[in-house]
Structure formats: structure tokens, C-alpha cells
Amino acid sequence: MKKIVIMFVLLVMTITASAQFQEGKGYLGASLTGLNLHYNSADGFNLGVEAKAGYLFRDNWMLLGEASLNHNGSEAVADHITIGAGLRYYIIQNGLFLGVNGKYIHANHDYNDVMPGIEVGYAFFINRSVTIEPAIYYDHSFNDSNYSTVGLKIGLGIYLFDD
């Protein structure tokens, strides 16, 4: 019973937290991509780090930049570096968002790919500015369909408020 009450309180706090996705706010995010649960035909073991930075240029609209370093068990693309940019729209003030992005991947000194992607996620506010952000995503590979990826990732975000 105690666990149910705690979960209910956390849910209410999350729903009632004012996300304040207002123009002029900054954002920093990070995730361990080893927690990035995904499937594609080419990867094996996956481990890496990802960093994001963003800016709310209009209410509910965020421009994002990201970089990551990954290692997986695939022979073809064992180690790769990714840089990208994206756009996020917060549908409702409690944190539900849609995102689109484009990424450039460089791997093993001879593999390059451009991958557009989409994501749906939720910003669970732990306090006024820190979030846990699970998201479901799809990245499409134009070079080799075996590298097109469907996945679930969990990250940590910090919304930088100036007041």
C-alpha cells in the first residue's frame, strides 16, 4: 500500500509540475546509451554516452543539438560518433513532446550515414528544473536498412530557468 501511495504522489507531482516551456529558456540533457534499448539487424552489445543542448526559441518549441559516442558489437560499425540537430514540440505543458532530428554518423574511419529520425517522449519533472525523459524513437538509415533503428531511451534533462 505504501508503494502505491508513493507512486500516486509522484504521479500527481509530475502532472501538476509546471513545465514552463517558455521562450528563452535553455536545456541540457544527457543519457547513457547503454540504457538505450533498441533493435536493428546489425548491432550487438551497445554502450555509449550522449549529450544534448537546447534552446526554447518560442513557447513549446525547442531547437536541439546533440553529440554521442557509441560502441557496439557489430563488426561493420563497432565504434561511431554521431552529431545532429533536432526540433522538439511540447504538446501539453506537463511534458509530452514530439521530436524530429537529423544525425550524421561516422564509424570505423570509412562508414558514414545521415539518419533522419522521429521520437515521442515525456519529460517527468523530479523538481522544478530536472527531468527524467523516456522516449520511443525511430532512426532511418539511407545507406543500409539494417541500421534503421527502433528504440526506447531514457535520459536526464535540466531546464535552465532565469527566474
Structural domain of 66: 2-160
Q: What band does 69 get if pLDDT is binned at 50, 70 and 90?
A: confident
C-alpha 155/C-alpha 17 separation (Å) is 18
DSSP string, the chain: -HHHHHHHHHHHHHHHS-----TT-EEEEEEEGGG-EEE-SS--SEEEEEEEEEEEEETTEEEEEEEEEEEES-STTSEEEEEEEEEEEESSTTSEEEEEEEEEEEETTTEEEEEEEEEEEE-EESSSSEEEEEEEEEE--SS-GGG-EEEEEEEEEEEE---
| pLDDT tens column, 111-131 | 899 999 999 999 998 988 899
CATH number at residue 80: 2.40.160.20
C-alpha 156/C-alpha 135 separation (Å) is 11
Average pLDDT over every residue of 66-80: 74
| pLDDT tens column, 25-44 | 888 888 765 455 566 666 56
Q: How many domains does the chain have?
A: 1
**Cα 145 off chain centre by:** 22
